[in-house]
Structure 1
């Protein structure tokens, strides 16, 4: 009988799952997640060697006798050298362009007594401020998506894409002379279906089309080539820039394209602080008189990954004035936002979970999670209004399609 493969049980909070790396027979965790102490040591050629954090990136470890060699080949070093090379080559890549050298602030340890008191105080204030839920406005847009609708049994993603593209069409954000910028694009699937809509919707006039894809990773199986090949109306220019949004000079990036045009931004699930960085990015781009901005539609998620000092200043002011939220309280607020998608697991009911430190059951925590999400999003919409844009929040699909179902539409008033 083959031996059962053991895997690292260390829970990764940012990914919501165990590590899962295959284990050696003599360890309880993988080397990156071993607790400090004797488990980091072993005897080799009569000498004791230990696992030590990599000086370039302490999130992983290396055997002490191999540290010198590792420092020459560490992936972190390769990425750093690649980034430095790109900064010198691409004028649109500027270190910390949208955060002005601000480092993410460190949070204090959680005080659960204070946390529980804040939860109740926040919820009472929320009910006074917002008397109704966000409007539900799902659009069943079909152009360019019929084939996809017919070939998949799980229509979750295509239903979201259809509604978002439908809203862009309804708001007159689709048409000729536009540069479509997808932030956090991943493989570019959303942009692909947007281009198909521009090809097939008889109500749209869109001959030549230009797409700029922004992502800090370079995923496999991208749709870039397919987008260039499968269009039927006019020409398509697809450009991909690999960069963190915090380092993106958007005005310069757009001006470097073949046919710079008015900009329409979009994103399906722009995680956490990436949404706030994108808002900063748009505001900085607007300082360039040649930059033409039409609108931005973003489906938001992962508020737990937001960074307090990377919120727009007006967002921070809104949260402080409405809810008394400063840096530490924002840590509580962002953690509360996770509760909106916790859900009831098999074998549980909405009334379970009252042994939580707040004393609230699953149903009540889910509702407070929704409130926390909306408070953060309302602060973002408020901030963009303060900068002269129109901004509105609404649910673009029902919760049974996606529990992360809210989005924000920003438009240039001028």
Structure 2
């Protein structure tokens, strides 16, 4: 077996500064002086020359170096021979089954000299990464592993260990919140590949990916394009019929195609309540408590959401004061407040809401943050490290009772979370800021088990492009409104399916969510990929470009161009987002807050230039609009 010889650059540098004392070995090297001519005088000149040409010194030392001895019996360390130290490197191999440490592996991989290459016994172990296949971890695809080590890695994977710990929690009940709400209307789309009759295409929409299938003939492609065009017109028509201001009309296809993106955005009520909170000192309060808000764009969003909580009387009004204390804080029978933040992430929204309530509620505030993954700069740090000189006039972190529930929204059983004694007879408010895709649907579904205990909720929706029809809670409501509204245009440019009954199901929803990606500037070239049924609920993930690919006739760019829609891609994408939120709104209205006196709204809470994902779902019971003593809150 060959061993590798390493000449350390560090050792050469030290040798150059050693005292110039001639040894017996140096005297044996005197015949080499002839290499430098007759003007070469003494060892001082020799070392001086080596200062100018260290590479020549390496050549000389290599030429005089002896062959390394054989490896010691049972040697399990690095196989590199260190000439200066006259021993083998004692570092452990960089991976199991390897023969070289990380410091010396480059000598094997980068060298082309036969003397530096290991023999056949070690060649396979020396270059494993170029020969062994790497695959995403089956537990957590965010990191990669060797395929032949997958079974062993799963046993020690940190994500797998964390998942096992979560499953041992009493509030964990697998898939308790999955399944959405309403009929799936499932049809096996694979059967449509072989059935290319026009009647099949009209009775059941074709999934967009079939357009690129080799089995998709020209007639099927034409039917699919017509289906996508009809769906786009129906989306705009339904959007305007639901959200258009009173007095406006939109009865023809020409009216639909002439809609602008601004008109689609303004069809939803706009209520930015951030200014009173900013004027009250939310920025200064964050700085005083050393809280990392996440950036300049996040503070106005949190401020507006706090304003909406005040408008629902979840938080005390700052206009009614008595010695700087809100009137409701004076009530002796005030119920403790429990705030549950779903998909909390860092937990900044929940931290702000709980601290603002605590500033006037005498410490009767509990915050529960539900989040499946960890993150840096969390609210937990702010709770643990409270500055002594913090300004508590606007928000008071000290005194908030908080806990973090590490669990996926698909598996969290909220009645178990709230079964503690201190959570009985409390005012329960559920909040979420930018809960991605199907995470919103999972959170809404989880509320059904505590429906009678919830006083109010507010959800800022986000990432509609990664929604999932199987988890969507508004299936029945969205299908009803989409199938009820029909385009009866008589224009010759839009014949075919305009006057016939249409259907809405998983394929139509899949196209809607893909078009949603065009709403966000800078992401117009992206679209959501298909969701893996076996995976957890989706989060923000990289998406493909099929949404706006001009070669795909069902992409949002192709549809907008073919129909000559004035609203453009962003207008159509925003209309799709609002229809998805409309189904969620109806779920809240009929399943969580069925009392006719309850208030359920869908509105914009911040300007689109601050955040294009600026819609909120808000709901509260009529009792919340009053103080606990029965008096109206002003």
Structure 2 Cα separation of the partners of residues 363 and 100 of structure 1: 34
- Check conservation: 1:343, 1:362, Cα contact below 8 A: no
- What is the CA distance between 1:50 and its match in structure 2? 4.3
- What is the CA distance between 1:199 and its match in structure 2? 4.5
2:265 is the counterpart of 1:137: no
Structure 1 Cα separation of the partners of residues 581 and 269 of structure 2: 14
Matches within 5 A, 1:74-113: 74-84=157-167, 86=168, 90-99=169-178, 110-111=209-210, 113=225
**SS of corresponding position for 2:619:** strand
- What is the CA distance between 1:236 and its match in structure 2? 1.9
2:391 is the counterpart of 1:190: no
Pick the structure with greater CA Rg: 2
Structure 2 Cα separation of the partners of residues 129 and 136 of structure 1: 16
Please name the residue that 1:252 is paired with: 416
Structure 2 Cα separation of the partners of residues 298 and 413 of structure 1: 19
- Check conservation: 1:390, 1:411, Cα contact below 8 A: yes
Q: Please tell me the root mean square deviation across aligned C-alpha atoms, in Å.
A: 3.5
Between Structure 1 and Structure 2, the one with more strand by share is: 1
How many aligned positions are there? 352
Structure 2 Cα separation of the partners of residues 212 and 58 of structure 1: 26
Query: How has the CA–CA distance of structure 1 residues 57 and 210 changed in structure 2, closer, same or farther, with 3 Å as cutoff?
Result: closer
Q: Which moved more, 1:130-139 or 1:149-158?
A: 149-158
- What is the CA distance between 1:76 and its match in structure 2? 4.7
**1:88-121: CA deviation from partner (whole Å, max 9, x where unpaired):** xx3222111212699x999856245243442233
Structure 2 Cα separation of the partners of residues 236 and 319 of structure 1: 40
2:590 is the counterpart of 1:386: yes
1:405 to 608, 614, 619: 614
- Check conservation: 2:366, 2:401, Cα contact below 8 A: yes
1:357 to 539, 545, 558: 558
Please name the residue that 1:237 is paired with: 401
In the superposition, the TM-score normalised over structure 1's length comes to: 0.74
- What is the CA distance between 1:342 and its match in structure 2? 3.2
- What is the CA distance between 1:258 and its match in structure 2? 3.8
In the superposition, the TM-score normalised over structure 2's length comes to: 0.50
Please name the residue that 1:162 is paired with: 303
Structure 1 Cα separation of the partners of residues 180 and 458 of structure 2: 27
- What is the CA distance between 1:130 and its match in structure 2? 3.0
Please name the residue that 1:210 is paired with: 366
The answer for unaligned runs of 5 or more in structure 1 is 1-24, 26-42, 346-352
Structure 1 Cα separation of the partners of residues 568 and 446 of structure 2: 36
Structure 1 Cα separation of the partners of residues 134 and 208 of structure 2: 25
**1:40-82: CA deviation from partner (whole Å, max 9, x where unpaired):** xxx9359995426468449465434434433433345324433
- Check conservation: 2:603, 2:616, Cα contact below 8 A: yes
The answer for unaligned runs of 5 or more in structure 2 is 1-105, 107-122, 190-206, 212-224, 246-266, 317-333, 484-503, 525-547, 551-556, 624-634
Provide runs of 4+ in structure 1 moved above 6 Å.
104-107, 149-153
2:124 is the counterpart of 1:44: yes
Structure 1 Cα separation of the partners of residues 574 and 173 of structure 2: 36
**1:181-224: CA deviation from partner (whole Å, max 9, x where unpaired):** 11111122112222332255xxx544422111111112123222
1:227 to 383, 394, 400: 383
Query: How has the CA–CA distance of structure 1 residues 137 and 206 changed in structure 2, closer, same or farther, with 3 Å as cutoff?
Result: farther
- Check conservation: 1:49, 1:64, Cα contact below 8 A: no
2:506 is the counterpart of 1:327: yes
